[in-house]
Amino acid sequence: MKRVLLIYALLTLCFVKTTSAAEVKDTLKVGFYVFNIYDIDYKKGTYKLSLFVWALSNKKIYELDKYLDFSGQVGYNEYLNHEEVITDLNSDTLYWSEIELQLEILQEFNANKFPFDKENIELAIEFTYEDSDSITFQVDNTSILDKIKIPNGWKFAAEPKIKTYITNYPTSFGDPRLDSYKVNTVGLTYVLARDSLALFLKMFVALFISFLIACSSIFISNDSFEPRFGLIVGGLFGTISNKYITDSFLPESTSLNLSDKLHLLTITYLLIITIITIIENRFKLDNNVKYEKYMFFGILFSYIIFVALLIRYN
């Protein structure tokens, strides 16, 4: 009889512990309203955004200003922090928390195709309250992600995406009770593309004009070496100046981006025109208008083709 009572007591204890563990686990419904992405800075590798975040629980108030963490955050401003116990239409008690934030987030931009680039603006929102096993995350279907302001010159290349997942850090952050640390995470992704053509012309029009100036030296008489060479040098200085301007917008990189390739292509063509000019002057070749036209349009059309290929396959 004692054995039966002992087994019964153990089963009861296990049931109570299991029930208690189940009661501890909370379902937290989180929602987002992102209303502004701005100040996309290639040089710093950051962007800024403004958003509302809220959380609904059946058990208790979660203080979002204490438990929210944003991966890559370098700037944080809080404008609203509201907490309230409310009753819904079903007479259920809900614990509501809401916060409005302005953030500056680190972002690795891909400038290799600038200004024909697409950027994945990613925001990982971590909820660091205790361990991920204690809370089940749900995304509130009232979240709004597509009513958002973006900088001039940008457009959406895809629909915004949202997903929930567990981030597992291979460290306990100093907690001797843990070997690793897991947190519930919500990921927001925006794919932005530029209105490329207008920006491309604005950024590189000086480069193309410099090339045309140098290329027009072909029509100057062969015995006027100094004026011809002066136009080529002027085109070279214009190309270098344009390179400094475009570099001021882009981050430093060890790989060649589209801007680097266009400027290298232009300098190569200026070198070819310089060699042709030296040969004509050295051997005292006679002026030939037909030959000069073929050379001018041949150089010009081949340059345009190479520019188009660089844009297409960069």
Residues 261-286: tens digit of each pLDDT: 999 999 999 999 999 989 988 888 88
Lookup: tokens for 272 = 């070819």
Note the pLDDT tens digit of each residue in 112-159.
Answer: 889 998 999 989 999 887 666 778 888 998 899 988 999 988 999 999
Q: What does the pLDDT read at residue 9?
A: 43
Please write the tens of the pLDDT for every residue from 2-51. Answer: 444 334 444 444 444 444 444 556 788 999 999 999 999 988 999 999 99
CATH code of the domain containing 74: 2.70.170.10
Domain, as residue range, for 297: 197-313
204 pLDDT higher than 90: yes
Q: Where are the alpha helices (DSSP H) in the chain?
A: 2-24, 64-67, 196-215, 225-247, 258-282, 289-313
CB of 56 closer than 8 Å to CB of 28: yes
Same-domain check for residues 151 and 282: no
Q: Could you give the CA distance from residue 30 to residue 54 in angstroms, rounded to a whole number?
A: 6
Mean pLDDT of 55-78: 90
224 and 280 inside one domain: yes
Pick from 81, 41, 80, 34: nearest CA to 61? 81
Tokens of 303: 């340059």
Band of the pLDDT at 167, cuts 50, 70, 90? confident
Tokens of 268: 């190569």
Query: Which amino acid makes up residue 147?
Result: K
Instruction: Please name every residue paired with 135 in a beta bridge, in sequence order, or none if there are none.
Output: 26
- Among 194, 211, 244, the domain boundary falls at 194
Within-domain flag for 188: yes
- DSSP one-letter code for 149: B
pLDDT at 149: 93
Q: How many CB atoms lie within 10 A of CB 12?
A: 10
| End residue of a domain, out of 194, 217, 244 | 194
Residue 144 lies in a domain: yes
Would the pLDDT of 257 be above 90?
Answer: yes
Q: Which two tokens stand for residue 201?
A: 């012309």
Indicate whether 9 belongs to any domain. no
Residue 107 lies in a domain: yes
The two structure tokens encoding residue 152: 């001039």
Q: Same domain for 217 and 120?
A: no
Q: DSSP string covering 236-278, please? A: HHHHHHHHHHHHTTS---SS--HHHHHHHHHHHHHHHHHHHHH
CA neighbor of 289 nearest in space, from 218, 210, 195? 218
Encoded tokens for 251 = 């981050």
